[in-house]
Amino acid sequence: MPVRSLSLLALVFVLSFALQLMELLFPIQLLNPPWQWRLGTLLINGAFLSLLALALLQFAVVLAPADPLIRRRRTPPHRSAPGHVRSLQQR
26 touches 69 (CB < 8 A): no
Model confidence at 9: pLDDT above 70:
yes
How far is it between the farthest Cα atoms of the chain?
A: 52
Interatomic CA distance for residues 67 and 3, integer angstroms: 9
Q: What is the reported pLDDT for 84?
A: 53
Q: What is the reported pLDDT for 2?
A: 82
Q: What is the reported pLDDT for 62?
A: 87
Tally of domains in the chain: 1
pTM over 0.85: no
Q: What is the reported pLDDT for 65?
A: 80
- Domain of residue 83: give its range: 3-90
Model confidence at 29: pLDDT above 70:
yes
Please state, rounded to an integer, the average pLDDT across all residues of the chain: 82
User: Which percentage of the chain shows pLDDT scores above 90?
Assistant: 38
